[in-house]
Amino acid sequence: MGYTKEKKSKITRLQKKGRKKSLMLPLFAIILFLLSGAAPGRTAEKAEQPLWEFGLGAAVVTMPAYRGSQNQEFYPAPLPYIIYRGDFLKIDRQGIRGLIYDSPRTEVNLSADGAVPSTSDKGDVREGMPDLDAVGELGPSINYLLYEGKSISLHLRLPVRAAFATDFTSIEHAGWKVHPQVKMDASDVLGQWNVGLTLGPVFADKKYHAYYYEVKPAYATDARPAWRANGGYSGTSVQVSASRRFGRLWLGMFARYDNLAEAAFMESPLVETRHSFMGGIGAAWMLGESSETVAAAP
């Protein structure tokens, strides 16, 4: 059976969109790895450190199609080793952030997070529904220093982020998310490893929950009844990260667990489990650093 010209054009557009998504998946996996807290970093053993350091390596990241999905994906990707110690933009073991305000105990910066795109495959709980586009999150974060010792620091962080979904041809607002958390950073642990631990609840508005969990009447089936989303509690997450430099070799890893029990979207037919796991491991080889130096962070 032949296709009409209009149908062929639609298929071609969908194929191009699918290829563009597949090409962008490694990029989003890299960004999520760098945002995880396993980003490159080392202890401040010198009074002055290079403004930037650069290397290349590889990483493997695993994550669910969305929190609450049993479909666990794996993404191998090249990994750039990047440290940048600028006055505003900083990329280090704290992640990627833009510094807006800084005082001895309080810092305000731009924080980011996101999720990779996911297709609604045959046999999947979302079969017949639109694919999930890549989601990027950006917004301010207020960080307050609770405790600082010789090798351990404890921060209270309050990031508030706007979420945006994109299919790489257009972009739309996908709601708001708030993630208050306590973060502990420890240096020189068990043989000079840098270790981070983050714990806190997640809250999101109705629009954010609807993007992932709402079932409109047009997509309802006997096994997947229509469901409307509400805003509110979105689970609690705990994340552990670790990194270490061995000369010019850097190793980093992270693991994040989300418990979704009592979340506002738990009654959605798209939620298959109350547990969510994300993790990654990577290695990179140091290639170069700037001759320009800056004062080491305290």
CATH number where 153 lies? 2.40.230
The confidence score (pLDDT) of residue 214 equals 97
Domain of 17 in residue numbering reads as 5-295
The confidence score (pLDDT) of residue 258 equals 97
The whole model's pTM is what?
A: 0.81
**3-class SS letters over the chain:** CCCCHHHHHHHHHHHHHHHHHHHHHHHHHHHHHHHCCCCCCCCCCCCEEECEEEEEEEEEEEEECCCCCCCEEEEEEEEEEEEEECCCEEEECCEEEEEEEECCCEEEEEEEEEECCECCCCCCCCCCCCCECEEEEEEEEEEEEEEECCCEEEEEEEEEEEEEEECCCCEEEEEEEECCEEEEEEEEECCCEEEEEEEEEEEECHHHHHHHHCECHHHCCCCCCCECCCCEEEEEEEEEEEEEEECCEEEEEEEEEEECCCCCCCCCCCCCCCEEEEEEEEEEEEEEECCCEEECCC
Q: What are phi and psi of 129, to 5 degrees?
A: -95, 165
Query: Please, what is the end-to-end C-alpha distance for the chain in angstroms?
Result: 70
The confidence score (pLDDT) of residue 17 equals 45
Q: Tally the domains of the chain.
A: 1
The confidence score (pLDDT) of residue 76 equals 83
pLDDT along the chain (298 residues), means of 10: 43 41 52 54 61 87 92 84 78 68 86 84 88 91 93 94 91 96 88 90 98 96 96 96 88 93 97 94 89 73
The confidence score (pLDDT) of residue 33 equals 58
